Amino acid sequence: MSLGLDLNNSGYISVIKPKGWSSNQLLSKLKWLFQIKKAGHGGTLDPFATGIVPVFFGESTKFSNRILESNKEYIAELKLGFESSTGDTEGEITKDSSFDNENLPHNLKNILNEFIGVQKQTPPKYSALKYNGKPYYEYARAGIEIPLKKREIEIFSIDLVNFTNQQITFQVSCSKGTYIRTLGEDIAKKIGTKGYLTNLERIRVGTIKKIDSFSVEQIEELSIDNRKKLLKPIYELLELPKIQLNHTDTTNILNGQNLVIEIESGEILLFSEKNFIGIGISDGKIIKPVRLIRSKIN
């Protein structure tokens, strides 16, 4: 029996997005470098931002949404005394004439701590979120005002890294859907001025860290065969218990049938002959298929 992920054509890799690239530009580049047509990424980064973008190939794309749900961590640089139409370096910059550097509060750490917890955040008008099928940024560029619906996000931790020359550097761990541009503007407002992000780096996505990631240049230096050796199996990211199935149970569940197996209830990784074949869910007695990969059985 031969089944499971073929690591020549499936798996994931964490890539450092260069500044100025869109996430889709990065994805197109990776599809070309790996010569694999079916691919997707695990979270958009603004063009001015850098950092981790997980890229999924082949059957691994079926599980990429689970990574999109992961918590994220960033290092951001916030320039005080100025405002940007986009909240970052891409927009039109205007000066806050009321800003007085000498009157800045000395308790910046305490101010940052006020943002920890569950809260409602208004997304920026220059964002990829959609309204009536069109991204917010298309309306903004056309000068059309649309309602910006607040969303619930959570800040798990936020730390002051540095503060010099009207520039605050902070590190933040947050839930999915958090806009760091908006967070930066809100921090500046709490301080009593305007502000925009001059740099933003994503340093963690779920369990993926910067040390686990590769630059585009590092990947380009390798042969196509060695590039594909960098791909890791998607199940490493799913953090679920696993079970080994015999040949009969593997055949049945791949055909959409439930399995009568007593096991702890909850989602579970399904393996056959050490090959990952998908995710099932158990009620304690019955395992039902949730998401299966395309497999070959001989």
Residues labelled catalytic? 46
Cα 92 to Cα 84, 141, 276: the distances in Å are 5, 12, 50
| Rama region for 51: left / alpha / beta (φ>0; ψ in -120 to 50; rest) | left
Query: What gap in Å lies between CA 213 and CA 238, rounded to an integer?
Result: 18
Query: What gap in Å lies between CA 121 and CA 99, rounded to an integer?
Result: 24
Query: What gap in Å lies between CA 38 and CA 52, rounded to an integer?
Result: 20
Query: What gap in Å lies between CA 196 and CA 112, rounded to an integer?
Result: 16
CB atoms closer than 10 angstroms to residue 16: 18
CB 136 within 8 A of CB 123: yes
CA nearest neighbour of 72 among 241, 231, 200, 235: 200
